[in-house]
Amino acid sequence: MEILGIDVGGSGIKGAPVETETGVLLAPRYRLPTPENSKPKVVADIIGEITKHFDWHGPVGCGFPSVVQDGVILTAANIHKKWISVNAAELLSQATGCAVQVMNDADAAGLAEMTFGAGRGRMGTVIIVTIGTGLGTAFFTNGHLLPNAEMGHIEIDGQDAELRASDAARKREKLSWEKWARRFDIYLNRLERLFYPKLFILGGGVSSQADKFIPQLTVRAEVVPAQLFNEAGIVGAALAARLAEGS
């Protein structure tokens, strides 16, 4: 089934049509920058532009950097606060003229990795951590998703974890990979002591640089880079839309 997947991030909004049986992108992804004024109408208009770019009229799946329940946005750490309580599914359906399913962006990336990537066939507890503007997490137990596990916001040393250990923090503070890895290792060890997963899958933009920091991590669990890299959010959003339709 072909579905347009869209991934809304703190720095960019990107999309591509996906063959959800295989996880393959059917066209090069199209990316537009996330505006500084990321209020609902502004973002909805950009998503509308992405659907027009692909001349798309079918179903759409959208990963969003928030807790999402029944299409409604409940948090806004890396998006405008005006999004809180907005029914994003309805708003984006109006902006695109398409049926839109919305889910947490890290959950979408995790769904893609568990279906087509590094988590395929893995049992037990698996935690996917997406590392970008913030820290997103997706939790799976024996292949089943626990939605909206926003563990990127746990407190470490008196600060929101993503303010210290995200890729944005690495760039903002001009940290070497070694110094940043030490910070990220503290965060990952905290997650391990809370949930004792068998596997951590690390995604987001830094996953392509995994050799620069994964060898420095000290957690007991196996740690691997995501296999879908930055395409995971797009693929997972499309896959979630397919599952919502019962296909």
Tokens at 103, concatenated: 């889910």
pLDDT of residue 247: 55
Task: List, in order of start, the domains of the chain with CATH numbers.
Answer: 2-107+231-244 (3.30.420.40), 121-226 (3.30.420.40)
CA distance 202 to 225: 5
Instruction: Give, for 135, the enclosing helix (H) or strand (E).
Output: strand 135-141
**Tokens (6 digits) for 134:** 């913030």
Q: Is 87 helix (H, G, I), strand (E, B) or coil?
A: strand
3 state DSSP class of 25: strand
Per-residue pLDDT of the chain (247 residues; tens, 9 = 90+): 999 999 998 889 999 999 999 999 999 999 999 988 899 999 999 999 999 999 999 999 999 999 999 999 999 988 899 999 999 999 999 999 999 999 999 999 999 999 999 999 999 999 999 999 899 999 999 999 999 999 999 999 899 999 999 999 999 999 999 999 999 999 999 999 999 999 999 998 898 999 999 999 999 999 999 999 889 999 999 999 999 877 5
- Whether residue 210 contacts residue 202, with contact meaning beta carbons closer than 8 Å, is answered with yes
Place of tokens 């999004």: 83
pLDDT at 233: 95
CA 152/CA 66 separation, integer angstroms: 11
| pLDDT reported for residue 183 | 96
What are the structure tokens assigned to 172, written together?
């903002």
- Cβ contacts of 109 within 8 Å, gap of 6 or more: 7, 63, 128, 130, 136, 138, 203, 204, 226, 228, 232, 233, 236
